[in-house]
């Protein structure tokens, strides 16, 4: 009979699982074994009657997707006597101890836990949760089973102005240098804080805070906290079993690479970082063959009054030959609706039937109506509306990564200069029409590549 040992890897993962802090955050980069550390944390209490742990992801699919929390938990809890109840995303142990998985997709979902007493609360990818969600669940961190209540969370870097997870800098800020990198000597250092109506007051010791508020009739209770940094280089098992993972991180766009590989908490999407003019080679010819897509991003109105600065209607034609994406043509003009329609039809005739036509489709009834009109006026062409997924920066990430790797080239033309400047200025520039159209063309071409890879795998 083969015995399987469940234990942390030496280094940051072991430190995370042994810290005495009331609250501990672990990570600050991708690939450090964060999720697995969260999964084994509650095992130490599986024989305690009445013990309960809830591990949260922001959305339900993040728990249930293939390879997600639930699938990972099967490989762990089934080995230590856990009995699964997948319908409830719950594991029960002979002692009566329970480990659950749940989501807080919407802000109000935190109220579903009103009145709960949860000895151990875990957050996987903590920066996906809002400050209100974290502190409300903090108030549910109570225990009657004998296990001291505590909280554990994992995180990847986000800048302090991130509208969802930027609040985490209130905790990890002391552990970072002025450039946004974790200070090695501070990793794992335990600090203390009190929560004063939403404002955190920090000190190096518990005694310092007790003395500071000793004269109050109801002094706040100090809590301990630590942040433990990790990276893919600390995860020897992952690097051995999946040697391509590091290459995947190095292939990310510069913003995500700065966060997920380098562990920089100050990197943000800004001009010159999502796209940079220097990444694009201009060529005098484009190879034959491949697949070609023209993607349209339609502006709402034409420029009518001085001082107005509406978006342009943009159409970007891109061809994929092998692993290279060629931007063949880029149209960007302010036009009224009749002029736009004529331009789209004329451009389709010039591009030819081999060029697929895609356009950004708005949601709702009006979007359906406009989509039908566009498809109708382009009868005979391969044309389809695409509903955008994610924000503009998210949609541009794939193209950004390929451009950074030198895999996106421009056919020389009079449009090159404005095109490159618009991409370089994104997302800080006044207009993003060419970016949206370029992302649309690229994502349509790349979708086929992903689908083919999935079928082969």
Instruction: Quick: pLDDT tens for 101-140.
Output: 999 999 999 999 999 999 999 999 999 999 999 999 999 9
**Residues 231 and 319 occupy one common structural domain:** no
212 versus 451: which is more confidently predicted?
Answer: 212
CATH code, domain carrying 329: 3.30.420.240
255 occurs within a structural domain: no
| Burial bucket for residue 146 (CB in 10 Å: 0-12, 13-18, 19+) | exposed
CATH code, domain carrying 36: 3.40.50.300
* Whole-angstrom distance, CA of residue 42 vs CA of residue 35: 12
pLDDT class for 294, splitting at 50, 70, 90? very high
Q: Is the pLDDT of residue 454 over 60?
A: no
256 occurs within a structural domain: no
Q: Which of 235, 250, 265 is the last residue of a domain?
A: 250
**Residues 333 and 209 occupy one common structural domain:** no
Of all residues in the chain, the percent with pLDDT exceeding 70 is 94
236 occurs within a structural domain: yes
Q: Which tokens in the block code for residue 126?
A: 């903590």
**Residues 106 and 180 occupy one common structural domain:** yes
Residue 50: left (phi > 0), alpha (psi -120 to 50), or beta? left
Q: What is the pLDDT of residue 135?
A: 95
**Residues 73 and 220 occupy one common structural domain:** yes
264 occurs within a structural domain: no
**Residues 303 and 437 occupy one common structural domain:** yes
1 occurs within a structural domain: no
145 occurs within a structural domain: yes
Q: What is the pLDDT of residue 310?
A: 64
416 occurs within a structural domain: yes
pLDDT digits (tens, 9 = 90+) for 65-82: 988 899 999 989 999 999
* Whole-angstrom distance, CA of residue 457 vs CA of residue 449: 12
Q: Is the pLDDT of residue 444 over 90?
A: yes
* Whole-angstrom distance, CA of residue 358 vs CA of residue 297: 9
**Residues 224 and 324 occupy one common structural domain:** no
Q: What is the CA radius of gyration of the chain?
A: 26
* Whole-angstrom distance, CA of residue 60 vs CA of residue 449: 27
**Residues 235 and 319 occupy one common structural domain:** no
Provide the mean pLDDT of the chain: 91
**Residues 58 and 179 occupy one common structural domain:** yes
Query: Of 162, 226, 222, 286, which Cα lies nearest the Cα of 25?
Result: 226
Q: What is the pLDDT of residue 301?
A: 43
Q: What is the pLDDT of residue 303?
A: 39
Q: Is the pLDDT of residue 55 over 50?
A: yes
Beta strands 324-333 and 313-321, pairing class: antiparallel
**Residues 26 and 143 occupy one common structural domain:** yes
Q: What is the pLDDT of residue 305?
A: 35
- Count of structural domains within the chain: 2
**Residues 40 and 75 occupy one common structural domain:** yes
Q: What is the pLDDT of residue 335?
A: 86
**Residues 211 and 283 occupy one common structural domain:** no
Helix, strand, or coil (residue 178): coil
Q: What is the pLDDT of residue 308?
A: 55
| Burial bucket for residue 300 (CB in 10 Å: 0-12, 13-18, 19+) | exposed
Range of the domain at 346: 276-456
Q: Is the dihedral of CA 149, 150, 151, 152 positive or negative?
A: negative
pLDDT digits (tens, 9 = 90+) for 225-272: 999 999 999 999 999 999 899 999 998 888 889 999 999 999 888 888
**Range 329-336 average pLDDT:** 90
Task: Give how far Cα 196 sits from Cα of 150, 153, 219, 441, Å.
Answer: 19, 22, 10, 50
Q: Is the pLDDT of residue 209 over 80?
A: yes
258 occurs within a structural domain: no
Query: Of 232, 230, 223, which Cα lies nearest the Cα of 202?
Result: 223
Provide the β-strand partners of residue 311: none
**Residues 445 and 312 occupy one common structural domain:** yes
Query: Of 398, 443, 406, which Cα lies nearest the Cα of 252?
Result: 398
Q: Is the pLDDT of residue 307 over 60?
A: no
pLDDT digits (tens, 9 = 90+) for 156-185: 999 998 889 999 999 999 999 999 999 999
């Amino acid at each position: 009979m083969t015995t399987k040992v469940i234990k942390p890897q030496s280094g940051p993962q072991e430190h995370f699982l042994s810290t005495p802090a009331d609250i501990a955050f672990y990570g600050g980069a991708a690939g450090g074994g964060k999720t697995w550390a969260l999964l084994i944390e509650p095992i130490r209490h599986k024989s305690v009657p009445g013990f309960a742990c809830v591990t949260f992801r922001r959305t339900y699919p993040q728990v249930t997707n293939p390879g997600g929390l639930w699938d990972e938990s099967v490989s762990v809890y089934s080995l230590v006597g856990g009995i699964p109840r997948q319908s409830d995303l719950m594991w029960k142990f002979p002692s009566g101890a329970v480990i659950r998985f749940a989501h807080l997709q919407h802000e109000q979902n935190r109220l579903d836990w009103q009145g709960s007493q949860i000895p151990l609360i875990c957050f996987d990818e903590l920066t996906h949760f809002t400050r209100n969600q974290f502190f409300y669940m903090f108030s549910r961190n109570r225990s009657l089973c004998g296990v001291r209540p505590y909280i554990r969370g994992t995180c990847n870097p986000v800048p302090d102005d991130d509208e969802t997870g930027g609040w985490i800098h209130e905790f990890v800020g002391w552990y970072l240098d002025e450039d946004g990198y974790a200070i090695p000597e501070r990793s794992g250092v335990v600090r203390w804080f009190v929560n004063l109506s939403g404002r955190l007051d920090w000190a190096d010791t518990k005694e310092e805070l007790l003395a500071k508020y000793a004269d109050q009739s109801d002094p706040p209770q100090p809590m301990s906290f630590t942040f433990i940094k990790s990276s893919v280089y600390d995860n020897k098992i992952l690097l051995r079993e999946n040697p391509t993972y590091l290459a995947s991180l190095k292939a990310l766009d510069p913003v995500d690479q700065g966060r997920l590989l380098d562990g920089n908490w100050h990197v943000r999407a800004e001009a010159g970082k999502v796209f940079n003019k220097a990444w694009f080679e201009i060529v005098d010819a484009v190879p034959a063959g491949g697949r070609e897509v023209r993607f349209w991003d339609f502006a709402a109105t034409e420029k009518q009054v001085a001082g107005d600065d509406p978006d342009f209607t943009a159409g970007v034609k891109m061809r994929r030959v092998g692993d290279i994406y060629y931007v063949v043509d880029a149209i960007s003009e302010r036009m009224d609706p009749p002029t736009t329609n004529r331009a789209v039809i004329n451009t389709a005739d010039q591009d030819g039937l081999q060029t697929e036509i895609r356009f950004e489709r708005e949601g709702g009834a009006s979007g359906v109506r406009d989509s039908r009109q566009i498809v109708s006026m382009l009868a005979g062409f391969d044309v389809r509306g695409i509903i955008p997924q994610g924000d503009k920066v998210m949609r541009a990430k794939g193209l950004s990564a390929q451009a950074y790797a030198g895999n996106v080239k421009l056919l020389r033309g009079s449009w090159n200069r404005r095109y490159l400047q618009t991409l370089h200025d994104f997302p800080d520039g006044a207009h993003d029409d060419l970016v949206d159209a370029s992302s649309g063309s690229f994502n349509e071409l790349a979708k086929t590549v992903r689908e083919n890879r999935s079928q082969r795998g």
